[in-house]
Structure 1
Amino acid sequence: MQDRFVLHNLKRVSGESIDIVVENGSIAQVTEAGLAFGHRMTDCSGVYVSSGWIDLHVHAFPDFDPYGDDIDEIGIKQGVTTIVDAGSCGADRIADLAATREYARTKMFAFLNVSRIGLARVDELSNLEWIDTKKAVQAVQDFSGFIVGLKARISRSVVRDSGLEPLRIARSLSVQTSLPLMVHIGSGPPGIEEVIPLLENKDIITHYLNGKSNNLFDEEGKPLQALLDAIGRGVHLDVGHGTASFSFKAAEAAKRRHIRINTISTDIYRGNRLNGPVYSMAHVLTKFLYLGYSLEEVISAVTTRAAEWLEKPELGRIRVGDAANLTLFTVRNEPIALLDSEGEQRIAEKRIEAKGVVINGEFIECEIRT
C-alpha cells in the first residue's frame, strides 16, 4: 500500500494557495488549492509552506559544553529540516559527529574545524600544534559527502597570541581540499581589516552583524571598504546570530546601506536555545521581519540561498518528483519582545512561528514555538 497524504490549502510566501500531495516520501503533485484529494488530508488553512529551512550555522555535538546540542532539538523540532554544524569538531572527533546522524531525523552536514580538537576548548586556535593539516585533509577525504567546508574562528579569545597565522593555515587547507572557509569574526586583534582580505569567492563571513568594536561598519554605520571589496569578490554574508554576535544597530545600518543578507543562521546551541537570545530559527527570522525585510526575502535566506551555497538546489525548492522537504509556518499578528546580543530590546508586531515539517515521507509537528 502506498504511503500518501495531502496538505490542503497551504500558502506560498508569494500568496499563492496550493495543495501538496506527498507519496512515498516524494512530492507527487502541487496543485491549485482544493484540487488534490486523498484519504489522509490535513487542512493547512492560514499556514505558509516553503522548502525545508536550512540553518547554515549551528552547534550540534552534544558532548561539548557550552557549544553543543542535540540535532533534532535544533532541527525538526523547530521547523529546520537541514542543519550545518559550524566547526564543533575537528579531525579528532568528526567521525563521532558524523555518527550522530544515525539517530536523528534532521539532515546534517558539517564544517570541519581546522583545529583538530575543535570546540573541546574555546581557544582551539591558540596553539598552532593543534592544527594538524594532514589529519584535516584525511578527514575531508573520509567524510567527503558530509564535510562542506572548513571553519576558523578568528577572534582574540580563540587565537590569542597566534594572530592571523591560523587563518593563513586555513587558507592553505582550503586550497588543498578545494573547500571554502567559514570565518567567525569577533573581537580583535586580529583587526577586521586584516582578516577580510584573506577571504575569497564562496568563503563565508559569519557574525557579520555583530556589535563588537572590531566590526564591519564604522561609527556612522557605513560599511568598511574591506567589506564592500569582499562582497565584490563573492564572499558570502551569514548572520550567525548566537549569544554575542547580533546587533540591531548593525543590522539596521546594513539594511540602510543595502548590504544584502545571503543567509540567516542561528549559531544555536543548548544555552542560547533555552535562555536566549536565539531560542529558535523562527525567533531569529522574526527579527528580520521586524527590520523591514519582506517575508520572501527572509524565507529565501534559509531556503534557496542556503541551498545554493551548499550546491544542493533540490533542498531549496518545491517540485514534483523531488523528495518532500518542507517547512510549514505561520505569521501571526501578535506583539513579541525581541532582544539582540547587546541587550537592546525591540517590540515586533508580527511573529513567525514554525508549525511542522515534512521530511523522510513524514509530517512532523513542531515542538518549539517562537
Structure 2
Amino acid sequence: MRITKRLTIVALCSIAPSIAIGYAQQYDILLRGGRVIDPANGIDARRDVAVSDGRIVSIQADIPAAQARKVVDVSGLYVVPGLVDLHAHVFGYEGSLVPDETALPAGTTTIVDAGGSGWRTFDEFHRTVMAHSRTRVLALINIVGKGMVGEPYESDVADMDPARTAETILHNRDAIVGIKTAHFAKPGWDAIDRAVEAGRRASVPVMVDDKIFTNAGRTTKEELLEHLRPGDIHTHMYNDRQIELIDRFTGKVQPWMIEARRRGVLFDVGHGGGSFLWPVATRAVAQGFVPDTISTDLHQGSRDIQQSNMPNVMSKMMLLGMNFADVLVRSTVNPAKEIGRYPELGTLGVGRVADIAVLEEQSGVFAFKDSWPAKRLGTKRLECVLTIRNGKIVYERGAVPARGGDTAIYDLLLKHARIGDRGDEVDIAISGNRIVRIGRGLKAAHARVVAEAEGYTVMPATAAEGVAADLTVLDTGRAIMTIRNGKIVTDDEGLTISDATRAGPYSNFK
C-alpha cells in the first residue's frame, strides 16, 4: 500500500437537492469503503461505518452517501476501535504530556495516566487535566499519596495509605480504574503489598513498575507468584531491570513467567524511554510470550527519541512477528477489559460510543528504536490518518508527499566506492553473503550498517550484482577494509559510520 493516502471528505449538505431526494441525512459522519476490523465483534471486512449523536449507529456493506452530512472516503485504510493506551503520563510526572496533543493524532482515544496522581492530588488532576481533555483520560492512582513526584516521596512508606487510596477510588469510580506502584527505591515489599491491599479494598487491579536490582531484596519470581493477584498487571515486560522475563544465559523464558501467566497475572509492554529492549522482546515473542496489552509509557523523553506512540509500538510488535489482528486486540479489547470498561470501549459495536481510529499500513523502510536506543529496520509501519472521539473528528492527517515503494533492506552498504579501475563512484549493497545492488543514490536509511568508501577502490574489479560479497577496500593499494561472506572482517580506517542507534550493548545477553 502506498503511504500517500489522502482522505476525501464531502459535506453532503452542499450537494444539489436532487441527489438526496428520498434520503434523510440521518448520520453525522459516514466512513466509506474501509477495511473494518473489530475483533470484539468478529468483523474483518470492507464495511461502511455510520456515526450519529456520538454513537456508532450502523455498520453495513454499502450505506448510501446521501444519508450522511459528512462522508469520508477511507478506502484502502483500516477502520478500528479507538486505541486504548493503558500506560501514559499526563500529570505529576516531570515528563508529562498534554493528552490531546499526543494521543489523538495517534488514534488513541482513551489513555490511562499511570500513577501521576495519588489520593492527595487526584482532585487537582481531575480539575486541571481530565475535565478539559477531549481525549478520554482515566487514572491508575498512585499508592503514594503525593503521586509520581520523584524521590524521596515515591519511597515514603508512611504516605502509602491503602485505606485513603481505596476511599478515593470508591468516590471516583468513573475516573479511577486501578492503582499504580512505581520507582520504590527501598528494599522489601511495602509498596507492592500496600498497593495490592488498596486494590483488594476497592476491587481494582494494580499495575507494578518494580526494580529487581540486588539491593531491592525482591525477585521477579516472588513478586509474580506470591504478591500479585490474578488481574494485576506487570508493565515494562520487555525490560531486564524491572522484570526477569528472559534467562540471560539460556535465552529462554523463565518458568515463573509462564506460571504467573497461568495464574492470571497480566503483562503490559509499557515501552517508554527505558523499558523496551530488542533482545528481550525478540526472544520472548519467538517463544510465544507476547503481551496481554500494548501500551506506550509515553512521556517527553520517549516521545522525542523512541517516538513510541501507540502506532509505533504496535508496528514494533508486528516487526517481531505478531499479525495486525493480534496487535489490535492488545491495543483495544484487552486493555478495555483490564480496566473494566469493556464493551463500552475497545469495540465498534452498534450503539457504542463512537471512538474510532483510521490507520494506514505503510510500505517502505522504517527505523524503529528501542530504549538503548538500538535501531531495527522494518518494511511496514502503522500511521494514524483520522481520529473520531465521541462522534467528532478530532484529528485528520494532512497531505503526505509521495514516496517510493522500495522495501529493500541491506545488511551492509558501501557508499561512493570505485570498483576496480572504473571511473564512476557507485554504492554497493550487500544482503546476506551476496552483492544485491550496485548503483547510485542507494539510501543509507535502508542499511543496517553503512561504510563510507569515497575516494577508495573496491576489488575485485569483477564485483557485480549476484556474486559473493568477498571484497577488499583499498587506499592507494593498501587494504583498509576486508569483507568476507558479506561480513566486515577488518576496518582499519573506521569506514563504518559510527551510529549508536544501529546496534546496542547486547553483550549482557547470551
TM over 0.5, shorter chain? yes
Judged with a 3 Å threshold, the aligned counterparts in structure 2 of structure 1 residues 364 and 159 are, in CA distance, closer, same or farther, namely closer
Judged with a 3 Å threshold, the aligned counterparts in structure 2 of structure 1 residues 5 and 60 are, in CA distance, closer, same or farther, namely same
1:154-200 CA-partner distances (Å, limit 9, x unpaired): xxxx3223422221222222222222111113442222223222111
Q: Does 1:297 align with 2:317?
A: no
Shift, 1:3, TM fit: 5.9
Aligned equivalents of 2:135 and 2:370: distance in 1? Answer: 27
Aligned Cα RMSD in Å? 2.2
CA contact (8 A) 2:359 2:383 kept: yes
The residue number in structure 2 matching 1:310 is: 339
Q: Which structure 2 residues correspond to residues 72-83 of structure 1 after superposition, within 5 A?
A: 72-83=100-111
Q: Which of 92, 106, 111 is the aligned partner of 2:140?
A: 111
Q: Which structure 2 residues correspond to residues 120-131 of structure 1 after superposition, within 5 A?
A: 120-122=149-151, 124-131=153-160
The residue number in structure 2 matching 1:136 is: 165
Aligned equivalents of 2:398 and 2:247: distance in 1? Answer: 37
The amino acid across from 2:136 in the alignment is K
Shift, 1:57, TM fit: 0.3
The residue number in structure 1 matching 2:184 is: 159
Question: What secondary structure does 1:253 align onto?
Answer: helix
The residue number in structure 2 matching 1:337 is: 367
Judged with a 3 Å threshold, the aligned counterparts in structure 2 of structure 1 residues 278 and 212 are, in CA distance, closer, same or farther, namely farther
Q: Does 1:84 align with 2:112?
A: yes
What is the aligned residue count?
363
Judged with a 3 Å threshold, the aligned counterparts in structure 2 of structure 1 residues 182 and 340 are, in CA distance, closer, same or farther, namely same
Judged with a 3 Å threshold, the aligned counterparts in structure 2 of structure 1 residues 241 and 269 are, in CA distance, closer, same or farther, namely same
Judged with a 3 Å threshold, the aligned counterparts in structure 2 of structure 1 residues 179 and 40 are, in CA distance, closer, same or farther, namely closer
Q: Which structure 2 residues correspond to residues 48-59 of structure 1 after superposition, within 5 A?
A: 48-59=78-89
Shift, 1:299, TM fit: 1.1
Shift, 1:84, TM fit: 0.6
Unaligned runs of 5+ in 1: none
Q: Does 1:172 align with 2:201?
A: no
The residue number in structure 2 matching 1:4 is: 28
CA contact (8 A) 1:187 1:214 kept: yes
Aligned equivalents of 1:122 and 1:349: distance in 2? Answer: 42
Judged with a 3 Å threshold, the aligned counterparts in structure 2 of structure 1 residues 368 and 148 are, in CA distance, closer, same or farther, namely farther
1:302-326 CA-partner distances (Å, limit 9, x unpaired): 1111122122212121122222111
CA contact (8 A) 1:78 1:369 kept: no
The residue number in structure 1 matching 2:471 is: none
The amino acid across from 1:160 in the alignment is A
Aligned equivalents of 2:364 and 2:355: distance in 1? Answer: 28
Shift, 1:214, TM fit: 5.1
Shift, 1:353, TM fit: 0.3
The amino acid across from 1:10 in the alignment is G
Aligned equivalents of 1:315 and 1:123: distance in 2? Answer: 37
Aligned equivalents of 1:15 and 1:59: distance in 2? Answer: 32
1:263-303 CA-partner distances (Å, limit 9, x unpaired): 10000012321x12144211111111111110101111111
The residue number in structure 2 matching 1:191 is: 219
The amino acid across from 2:314 in the alignment is L
The amino acid across from 1:322 in the alignment is R
The residue number in structure 1 matching 2:265 is: 235
CA contact (8 A) 1:209 1:247 kept: yes
Question: What secondary structure does 1:313 align onto?
Answer: coil
CA contact (8 A) 1:47 1:328 kept: yes
Unaligned runs of 5+ in 2: 1-24, 38-42, 401-510
CA contact (8 A) 1:21 1:36 kept: no
Shift, 1:213, TM fit: 8.2
Shift, 1:368, TM fit: 10
Richer in strand (by share): 2
Q: Which of 39, 47, 61 is the aligned partner of 1:32?
A: 61
The amino acid across from 2:207 in the alignment is M
The structure with the larger Rg is 2
Aligned equivalents of 1:45 and 1:367: distance in 2? Answer: 15
Aligned equivalents of 1:70 and 1:27: distance in 2? Answer: 27
The amino acid across from 1:79 in the alignment is G
Shift, 1:343, TM fit: 2.4
Q: Does 1:18 align with 2:43?
A: no
The amino acid across from 1:181 in the alignment is V
Query: Structure 1 residues 360-369 or 320-329, which shifts more?
Result: 360-369
Question: What secondary structure does 2:117 align onto?
Answer: coil
Richer in helix (by share): 1
Question: What secondary structure does 1:271 align onto?
Answer: helix
Whose relative contact order is higher, 1 or 2, with alpha carbons under 8 Å and at least 6 apart? 1
Aligned equivalents of 1:300 and 1:291: distance in 2? Answer: 16
The residue number in structure 1 matching 2:416 is: none
The residue number in structure 2 matching 1:288 is: 317
Judged with a 3 Å threshold, the aligned counterparts in structure 2 of structure 1 residues 369 and 40 are, in CA distance, closer, same or farther, namely closer
CA contact (8 A) 2:163 2:198 kept: no
Judged with a 3 Å threshold, the aligned counterparts in structure 2 of structure 1 residues 102 and 170 are, in CA distance, closer, same or farther, namely closer
The residue number in structure 2 matching 1:249 is: 279
Judged with a 3 Å threshold, the aligned counterparts in structure 2 of structure 1 residues 367 and 115 are, in CA distance, closer, same or farther, namely farther
CA contact (8 A) 1:11 1:46 kept: yes
The residue number in structure 1 matching 2:126 is: 98
1:115-157 CA-partner distances (Å, limit 9, x unpaired): 111111255442211212332122112212211111112xxxx
CA contact (8 A) 1:9 1:34 kept: no
1:13-59 CA-partner distances (Å, limit 9, x unpaired): 47511111111221121111465543421111211111110000001
The residue number in structure 1 matching 2:377 is: 347
CA contact (8 A) 2:306 2:373 kept: no
Question: What secondary structure does 1:89 align onto?
Answer: strand
Aligned equivalents of 1:95 and 1:368: distance in 2? Answer: 37
